[in-house]
Structure 1
Amino acid sequence: MAKKPATTEPSPQPAKSTDSVPFCQALANHLTYSVGKDHYTATPRDWFFALAHTTRDQMTARWMETMRRYYEADAKRIYYMSMEFLIGRTLTNSLMNMGHYDECLKMAAEAGLDLEQARAMEPDAALGNGGLGRLAACFLDSMATLGLPSYGYGIRYEYGMFNQRIENGWQVEHPDSWLRYGNPWEFPRPEVLYPVKFYGRLVEYTSEAGSLRHHWVDTEDVMAMAYDTPIPGYGGKSVNNMRLWAAKSSRDFDLKYFNEGNYIKAVEDKNESENLSKVLYPDDTTAMGRELRLKQQYFFVSASLQDMLYRFNKFHKNFDELPDKVAMQLNDTHPSIAIPELMRILLDLNHLDWDRAWDIVTRTFSYTNHTLMPEALETWPVSLLEKTLPRHLQIIYEINHLFLNDVRHQNPGDTELLKRISIIDEDNGRRIRMAHLAIVGSHQVNGVAQIHTELMRQTIFADFDRFYPGKIINITNGITPRRWLNQANPGLAGLITEHIGDGWITHLDQLSKLNKFATDKAFQGKFLRVKQANKESLAKVIEEKLGIKINPASLFDVQIKRMHEYKRQLLNLFHVVTLYNRIRANPGENRVPRTVIFSGKAAPGYARAKLIIKLINDVADIVNHDPVIGDQLKVVYIPNYDVTTAAEIIPAADLSEQISTAGTEASGTGNMKLALNGALTIGTLDGANIEIRDEVGTDNIFIFGLNTAEVAEITSKGYNPWDYYHGNQELRQVLDMIGSGYFSPDEPERFRPVIDSLTAGGDQYLLLADYTDYIACQEKIDALYRNPAEWARKAILNVAGMGKFSSDRTIREYAENIWGVKSVLRPEV
C-alpha cells in the first residue's frame, strides 16, 4: 500500500492497551498464516483481513474471560432481542475500544502502510434500516462498556439493507452482498443448532393427571445456526456477545429426486428453508413477503429462546427462577411472538400449569415501543398465524380471553373498551395486534423520549395506561460517544480532550465542563477550524463521488434520515425552492451561501418516498446548473446512506434538520449525533428535540412550527391546506413550480401526485401549515451564521449540553428501572 501522508490532525482517544502481545508481530503472523500473503503481495483487502483477525484475537481472550466471569457470578443476564443491528464497520471501533489504535497507527506509519485504504475495504454490516438498528448497536456498545452481562440476538442476513444507487434521479435498489469476501469478525458455531418449526397441526390429549396437553406435529423444520461476534466495551474490560442466527436446511436434499437426476428438485426444499435469513425485511406488500417476514421473526425468536433456556438450565432447574436470572427486552414488536413461544415451551414441553407459566413470562419480558403512528403498529392476519404458527395462535387466543376477562371485571358493560384493548382486532379482517400482545405479556413498557411516552399514555395506549398504571415508563434514547464523537470526529474529540481530559468518553456528562469555553475566543477559533476541516473533507468526498463542487465556506444544511413523508424532507425542499426563487429575483443581494445535503433510503415498496427522492434530484439538477445561482445555493443527494456515510457527513454539518410533524417522531437519534458534533438544530417540538432544547437552552436551538397540542387542535377543527396555499404567495409559487413541471420539463406531470397529496389530499403531515414559520426560522439562522463567534458559542453550548444523550445513561436506566441487572466488571489489575 502507498504511504499515507503525515497529518497533524488530533487523534481520537483510544483506551489504554491491556494486552502484552506485540500488535505488529501478531499482524505479521496473520498476514502470513491467515491470509497467506507477505507484505510484497498483500492488497489493501488482505491488510484489512490481517488487521481484523489480529484485533479479533485481542478481543477473544478478553471475551472468554468475560463469559467466565458472568458464569462465576451467576449473574442475571440481559437478552436484547432485535430484528436489526446496524453495526457498520467494526475495525476502528474495536481497535480503539481495546486500546490498540495508537499502536496500529504507529505501526502503519513505520511500515509505510495506508491504514485508511485498508479500513475502507471493510463493508458496512447493514443489518438494519435506520434508527432502530443503530440504537441496538449503540446499546450493545454501552452494555459491554458498563460490564452488564448481556447478549444481542438477531438474524445474520446474507443480504443487508439494499445498496441504494441513484440512476437518473431515481432510487434503484441493488443487493447488499456484505458477506461476499467473508466476515472476519464472526465465529461460526455449527454445534449451536436448534430446530425451528412451522406449519403442521395440533394434537390434543389428556395427561395421566387429567390435564389437557398439546402436541405440534407434522411440522416443516428449519435449523438455526449461531454466528457469534464479540462486542468490546471501551477499555476492553468486558467483551460481550452478539449472536446472530442463519437458517440451514434440516436435510441436505431429497435423495429420491437426486437419484432420478432431478437435482433442482432435490435441493428445492433446502434452498427454500435457507431463504429465511437471506434478506433483511422482505417486501411485505405481497402475501408471500408477509409470510416470510413473520417466519423470520419467529425463526430468530425460537432459536434465541432455546439458546437462552439451554444456558439457564445448565445451572438452574426451576423455571420459577427464570425472571431472577433472565431479562428479555423486545426491541419493538418484531420479536413479540416470543411471548407465546415461551408460553408454549413452558406449557407443552415442560408441562407447567397456565398461571405459573404466565407469571414467569410476564416477569421476564419487557417491551420498547418505537412508534406513535397507529398505521405503523405491527399486526398479523389471524389466518396467517393459523397456517404458519397454529399453536401460537391458540395461546394468543387464551392470553386475550383471560386478559379481557380481567378488563371486563374492572369495567363491566364497556364493550367499546374491550374492542379497543383486545389483542385481536375484529374490525379489520381479524388481525393480531402485536403491540397489545407485547404490553399484556411484559412487566414493563417504555417509550423512548419524554413526549413520546406521554403521547403513548394519552393516545395509542391510553386504555392500557389506565388498566396498568405505572407500567408505561420513559427511557430516553441515547447514542454511544465512542462511535459518534471519539471515532467519527477525531478533530473535535482531540480538542475536547485537550481542554477537559478524556473522561467524557465514558462519562459524557463531563462535556458540561466545556460551558466555560463557549465565550473563549481562542477555543472558538479552534472549534471553528475543526468544523471547517471537516467541511473541506466532506466537500472533497462529494466532489469525488458525485462530481459536484461545493463551497466549504457555505452553511452545510443537513437532513440525513430514512425517507418518509412524516420526516418532511419535502418541507426542507420547499425552502430550497424558495431560496432559489429569491436568488433569481435578486441575484446581486448579499446572501449566506448554503449547501443543502440530503441522504437516506426509501423502503423499496414506498412509491411516494421514492418519488420525493426523484424530486430532490431534479431540483438539484436545475439549481446546481443555473448560472444565476452559482455558489449561493447547492443541493446534494448523497446515495446509499449507511453508518460510514453518516460518519462522513455528521462532523461537517452546521445545521441539523429535525423537522418531523410534532407528535410523529418517537425520539430520533440523528438529532443527538449532529448536536454532539457541533451542529445547531432546527426542529419542531417532537421526539427528543424537546429534551435537547431543555439541555442546551432555548436560545441555542431553532424551534418552529405547531406543537402536538396545536396539531391536534388544527386537525380536529378541520384543516384546510388550500387556505395556506392561497394565503402565501411564495408557498403558492413553490407548489405551482413543482406541480407544473418546472423541475421536470421532460415529464411535466411527474410530481403532480406530490402536490395533490398536499392540497386536495389534505396534507396529512401539515407541511403547508408549518411552511411560513419554517422559512422565518431559516432567515434567523442565516442572520446568526453571519456572526461566526456567536454561531461558535451556541454550537459549543450544544456540545456541552449533550451529556444526557449518552447510551450509557440510557442503558443504566434500563438496568435499574426495568431489568434489575448489575454490572459485573473485571477488577482493576
Structure 2
Amino acid sequence: MTTSLFKNKKVFKEAYVKRVEEMFGKRFDETTMNEKYFTLATMVREYASNNWIETQGALKKSNQKQTYYFSMEFLMGRLLTNNLTNLGIRNLVEEAFDDLSLDLNEIEDKEADPGLGNGGLGRLAACFLDSIASLGYPGHGNGIRYRYGFFEQRIIDGYQVEVPDQWLQKGFVWDVRKENEAVDIPFFGQVRMLEDNGKIKYVHENAEYVKAVPYDVPIIGYDTKTVNNLILWSAEPARTYPQGINAAEYESNIRQISEFLYPDDSTDEGKILRLKQQYFFVAAGLKRIVNNHKEQYGTMENFHEKVCLHINDTHPALLVPELMRVLIDEEGYDWDTAWSITTKTCAYTNHTILAEALEKWPVRLLQPLLPRVFMITEEINKRFCLDLIDRYGEGHPKVTELAIIGEDLVRMAHLAIVGSFSVNGVAALHTNILKEIEMKDFNELFKGRFNNKTNGITHRRWLLNSNPELSDLLTKLIGDGWIKDTMEFDKLMPYVTDEKVKKEFYDVKQARKTALAERIEREQGIKLDPNSIFDIQVKRMHEYKRQLMNILHIMYLYNRLKDDSEFRQNFHPQSFIFGAKAAGGYDFAKKVIKLINTVADIVNNDEETNSKLKLVFVENYNVSYAELIMPAADLSEQISTATKEASGTGNMKFMMNGALTIGTLDGANVEISEFAGIENEIIFGLNADEVNELNATGDYNPWDIYYKDERIRRVLDQLINGYFSNVQPDEFRDIYDNLLHNGDSYYVLKDFDAYINAQEKANKMYQDQDKWLEKALINIAKSGYFSTDRTIEQYVEDIWHLEKIKF
C-alpha cells in the first residue's frame, strides 16, 4: 500500500530507492535529478490518491452542495513542496534524502512551473483552491490545460523576447487524463427550429466538433483528508472530421484552442480563437458537472441547490447562456424555469474597472461561431431591455447603456451581472467604485446583489513554504496555530518592540535577501548588497501599475546622486528590483522594460554611484521566482494610479513577509494601511476621490508640471536628447509623447513629486533600523486578515453556502 510507504523514514527511503530503479531501469546512483524528482512526485500523488478517492466518495454519499470555480487562469506554481507540506510528510522526506545525500530543495527545483496563468487573476484562483481544500469545503477549479501557457520571457539587449513556455516538455506528474469523460464541443454550423408535439426545438447542425478531454489535478488540503479537483481541459480532434476541410488544417486549428494562454486578439482570427477558448472550457466543464449531477440526483430541478458556478472575471461569462441552452434544449425546461435556475446558480467576480478588461465581443464574430448560444444571449438581452423600459421608459438612454448587446457588441460584464445572483468586487475601495460609479445603475437595479470580498493569499505557500526562517521564528514566539488560523498572527504584537526579536527578524530578512542576491548574481551577473534596501516591484507590466514612474524616479535619483555629494553621503544604498512580463502585443509596456534595462546598464556600471544605487530587471518572473523574492523585500512597491488596481495580492505577500508598503491608497493598500496603521506604511499621491475629480473635470495638463519642475523636465528630456548613447535617439520617444503629448492618463507626472518625497522618507526611515524593524513586525502581525482562508470563509458564508465535507 502506498500509504504505508511514508510510515517512517526507513520504510520510505527503501521504497523510494527501489521505485526509482524500477521506474527508470538503472541503478539509483546513475539516475538523474529529474528522474528522482519524477519518482518522488509520483509517489506523493499516489499517497494522496486514497484521500482523493475518499473525498469523492464522501461527496456522493452526503449529497452536499459544491462550488465550481471557472477561470481562464490557474497560476499554480510548483506543486511538490506544497503537497509534501500539506500532507505532513515533508520533514520525513527531507530526513530520508539527507541520509541518501540528496538535497530536497534541489529536487523540488526540477519541477517546472505549470504554465496555466499570467498574473494576479490566476494566482488568486490557485490560492482559492488551496484554501477551499484546506478548510475542508467541496470546491473545484475548471480551466484549460495550456500546452505552452503564457510565454517564457528572455531579455535580449534589454528587450523582452517571448519564447514558448514548454512546461509540459518533461511531463506533468500531477494530472490524470480522464479519456472516458471526454465530451464534444460544437462550433459554427446552423440552428434549425423544429416543432415537436407543439413545442419548438432547436437543433444545431453542420457544426465543427472539438473533443474536450479532462485532466484532473488533485488539490490537497493542509492537514485534512480533503482532496478536491482542478479540472483542466485539452482540445483534441473529434472522432468525426468535418467535411470540406483539410485534415491537417482542422487538427492545427483544434490544438490552438488549448495551446497558448491569451493569444493575440488584435485580428479577427485572434478574437475568434479567444472566444473558442472561452466557450470550450465553459461548455466542457458544465457538461461534466451536469452529467455528474444528473447521475447523482436524476433531475436538474435542484441544480441551483447543489451547485454554484463561479465566474472568475468575464472570460467564463458564457456560462450564463450555455446553462440556459442546456436547460432548454437538452432538459426541456421553459424559459422562465431555466432562467430561475440559472440566476440562482451563477455568481460573478469582477476584477477590474478598466474598460479594456471588460470584454466586449463583436456580434459578427460571436454569432456564426456560437449560433445557438448567441440566440439565447439575444433573448436574454431582449427580455432584460423590456425590464429596463418598464423601469425607465421607452427611449431612455439607460436602456441602451445597460443593454447586454449594444453597438454590435456583446458586453460580457453585463451578461455576467444580469445572469448571476451575486456580483462581488475584490477590495473595499474597488467594490465601492463598482457600486457607486462604474456599475451604479446595475447596483440600483439589483438591490443586494453587489458585495465585497477582499482578496487574500494562501499563507501556507507564501510564508510557511517560501520563508522557513520566518515561519520558525513565528512558531517559536506564538506557537504553530497560525498555520491554520492566521488571525493568530496578532499574538506577535507584544513582541514588536522586543530588541531580541527584532534582531532575530533582522537575521531572517538578511538570510532571504542574501538568497535572492545570490540567484540574481548567478543568473544575471549583477551583484546586490544585502545590506542595501531591497525595493521591489514585481507584477504584470501595465501602464496603470506605473512601473514607468518607478524607473523615472530611479533616473532622477541617479542624477541627484551624481550631482549632490552631500545627498550621496547621507543616502542609504538602495537596490531596485523589477520583475514583470508584458503581453506580447503591448508595445508600450515592452518599451518600459527596455527603458529599465537601459538605465540599469548605466547605473550598475557607474563606479561613482553603484555602491549606493543598483537596478535589476529579473528575467522570466514567475511563481517560483516570487517565492524567493517576496520574503527578501524591505519595500513593497504598490504605486498604481488610485482607482485602477482592483485589489492586488502581491501587496499582501510582501506585507506578510515583513515589508513596508510604499504606495497609493488604491486597491487593498487601503485595507493594509487600516490594519497595520498608516504610520507603518509610506502612502503618497492622489487618492480615489482626487483622481475621479480630475477625470471628471479634465483639469490636468502635464506640460504645466514639465515646465514648473526642473527635476521632471531633466528626466523627460533625457528620454529624447541623446542621453542614452547605447540606443537609437528616438528609442523612448513614445514614452515622452505618452506623458506629455497624450495627456499622462495615469497621472505619472502628477504624482511624481509626492513619490520622490515618499522615497526620501523611506530611505531615512530605513536608517533607523530599530523603528523600521518594529514597523515590519507590525505588518506581519496585522497581515492575518489577508489570508485566503478568511476570504473563502466569506465566500462560503455569503455566496456559495457550502458545508464542510462529511467524511
CA contact (8 A) 1:35 1:49 kept: no
Equivalent position of 2:328 in the other structure:
347
1:456 aligns with 2:434: yes
Q: 2-side partners of 1:774 and 1:541: how far apart? A: 29
Equivalent position of 1:375 in the other structure:
356
Equivalent position of 1:137 in the other structure:
126
Letter of the structure 2 residue corresponding to residue 308 of structure 1: I
Equivalent position of 1:198 in the other structure:
187
Equivalent position of 1:243 in the other structure:
231
The CA deviation string for residues 283-330 of structure 1, in whole angstroms up to 9 with x for no partner, is 111111110110011011111011000110012123120010001100
> What is the correspondence of 1:96-245 to structure 2 with a 5 Å cutoff?
96-208=85-197, 210-245=198-233
Q: 1-side partners of 2:745 and 2:201: how far apart? A: 50
Q: 2-side partners of 1:56 and 1:236: how far apart? A: 15
CA contact (8 A) 2:765 2:772 kept: yes
Equivalent position of 1:665 in the other structure:
645
Equivalent position of 2:378 in the other structure:
397
Q: Aligned to 1:470, which of 448, 453, 458?
A: 448
The CA deviation string for residues 338-382 of structure 1, in whole angstroms up to 9 with x for no partner, is 111111111111111000000000000000000011222001000
Letter of the structure 1 residue corresponding to residue 205 of structure 2: V
Equivalent position of 1:582 in the other structure:
560
Shift of residue 746, structure 1, vs aligned partner: 3.3
- 3-state SS of paired residue (1:446): strand
1:780 aligns with 2:761: yes
- The percentage of counterpart residues that share the same residue type is 46
Q: 1-side partners of 2:271 and 2:776: how far apart? A: 45
Equivalent position of 1:385 in the other structure:
366
Q: 2-side partners of 1:353 and 1:213: how far apart? A: 11
Equivalent position of 2:615 in the other structure:
635
Q: 1-side partners of 2:301 and 2:229: how far apart? A: 26
Shift of residue 272, structure 1, vs aligned partner: 2.3
Mean Cα deviation higher: 741-750 or 347-356: 741-750
1:275 aligns with 2:253: no
Task: Flag the 1:744–1:766 CA change in 2: closer, same or farther, 3 A.
Answer: farther
Q: Aligned to 1:594, which of 574, 585, 588?
A: 574
1:653 aligns with 2:641: no
1:796 aligns with 2:774: no
Shift of residue 654, structure 1, vs aligned partner: 0.3
What is the TM-score of this pair, normalised by structure 2? Answer: 0.97
Shift of residue 253, structure 1, vs aligned partner: 6.8
Q: 2-side partners of 1:82 and 1:592: how far apart? A: 44
CA contact (8 A) 2:5 2:12 kept: no
Q: 2-side partners of 1:256 and 1:707: how far apart? A: 59
1:685 aligns with 2:665: yes
The CA deviation string for residues 260-279 of structure 1, in whole angstroms up to 9 with x for no partner, is xxxxx543322322221111
Mean Cα deviation higher: 30-39 or 51-60: 30-39
Letter of the structure 2 residue corresponding to residue 243 of structure 1: I
The CA deviation string for residues 212-268 of structure 1, in whole angstroms up to 9 with x for no partner, is 2211111000110111111100014211111101011113879999xxxxxxx5433
Q: 2-side partners of 1:36 and 1:678: how far apart? A: 47
CA contact (8 A) 1:18 1:98 kept: no
1:719 aligns with 2:700: yes
Shift of residue 825, structure 1, vs aligned partner: 5.3
Shift of residue 629, structure 1, vs aligned partner: 1.0
Unaligned runs of 5+ in 1: 1-15, 258-264
Shift of residue 19, structure 1, vs aligned partner: 6.0
Q: 1-side partners of 2:582 and 2:247: how far apart? A: 38
Mean Cα deviation higher: 116-125 or 591-600: 116-125
CA contact (8 A) 1:369 1:446 kept: yes
> What is the correspondence of 1:16-95 to structure 2 with a 5 Å cutoff?
20=7, 22-95=11-84
Unaligned runs of 5+ in 2: none
The CA deviation string for residues 372-431 of structure 1, in whole angstroms up to 9 with x for no partner, is 1122200100011111001111101110111111121122246200011000122xxx10
Equivalent position of 1:507 in the other structure:
485
> What is the correspondence of 1:388-537 to structure 2 with a 5 Å cutoff?
388-413=369-394, 415-426=396-407, 430-537=408-515
The CA deviation string for residues 540-566 of structure 1, in whole angstroms up to 9 with x for no partner, is 101000001111100000000000000
- 3-state SS of paired residue (1:336): coil
- 3-state SS of paired residue (1:277): coil
Q: 2-side partners of 1:56 and 1:344: how far apart? A: 37
- 3-state SS of paired residue (2:457): coil
Q: Aligned to 2:655, which of 675, 693, 708?
A: 675
The CA deviation string for residues 622-676 of structure 1, in whole angstroms up to 9 with x for no partner, is 1111122121000000010100010111110000000000000000000000010
Q: 2-side partners of 1:144 and 1:214: how far apart? A: 40
> What is the correspondence of 1:551-566 to structure 2 with a 5 Å cutoff?
551-566=529-544
Shift of residue 36, structure 1, vs aligned partner: 3.2
The CA deviation string for residues 499-545 of structure 1, in whole angstroms up to 9 with x for no partner, is 11111111111000011110000000000000001111111101000
Letter of the structure 1 residue corresponding to residue 454 of structure 2: T
RMSD: 1.6
Letter of the structure 1 residue corresponding to residue 322 of structure 2: E
Shift of residue 18, structure 1, vs aligned partner: 12
What is the TM-score of this pair, normalised by structure 1? Answer: 0.95
Mean Cα deviation higher: 313-322 or 46-55: 313-322
> What is the correspondence of 1:284-299 to structure 2 with a 5 Å cutoff?
284-299=265-280
Task: Flag the 1:256–1:155 CA change in 2: closer, same or farther, 3 A.
Answer: closer
CA contact (8 A) 1:30 1:53 kept: no
Q: 1-side partners of 2:485 and 2:394: how far apart? A: 53
1:704 aligns with 2:684: yes
Letter of the structure 1 residue corresponding to residue 25 of structure 2: G
CA contact (8 A) 1:599 1:639 kept: yes
Mean Cα deviation higher: 16-25 or 199-208: 16-25
CA contact (8 A) 2:350 2:426 kept: yes
Shift of residue 719, structure 1, vs aligned partner: 0.9
Task: Flag the 1:465–1:507 CA change in 2: closer, same or farther, 3 A.
Answer: same
Equivalent position of 1:300 in the other structure:
281
Mean Cα deviation higher: 211-220 or 692-701: 211-220
CA contact (8 A) 2:62 2:806 kept: no
Task: Flag the 1:269–1:524 CA change in 2: closer, same or farther, 3 A.
Answer: same
CA contact (8 A) 1:200 1:219 kept: yes
Q: 2-side partners of 1:591 and 1:741: how far apart? A: 28
Shift of residue 760, structure 1, vs aligned partner: 1.2
Q: 1-side partners of 2:68 and 2:619: how far apart? A: 34
> What is the correspondence of 1:737-748 to structure 2 with a 5 Å cutoff?
737-748=718-729
Letter of the structure 2 residue corresponding to residue 602 of structure 1: A
The CA deviation string for residues 148-190 of structure 1, in whole angstroms up to 9 with x for no partner, is 1121110001111200000000000000011101111111111
Equivalent position of 2:523 in the other structure:
545
CA contact (8 A) 1:741 1:750 kept: no
CA contact (8 A) 1:229 1:242 kept: yes
Shift of residue 737, structure 1, vs aligned partner: 1.1
Task: Flag the 1:591–1:361 CA change in 2: closer, same or farther, 3 A.
Answer: same
Letter of the structure 1 residue corresponding to residue 39 of structure 2: A
Equivalent position of 1:260 in the other structure:
none
- 3-state SS of paired residue (1:224): strand
Tell me how many residue pairs correspond in the alignment: 800
The CA deviation string for residues 732-762 of structure 1, in whole angstroms up to 9 with x for no partner, is 1111112323135431111011011111110
Task: Flag the 1:199–1:513 CA change in 2: closer, same or farther, 3 A.
Answer: same
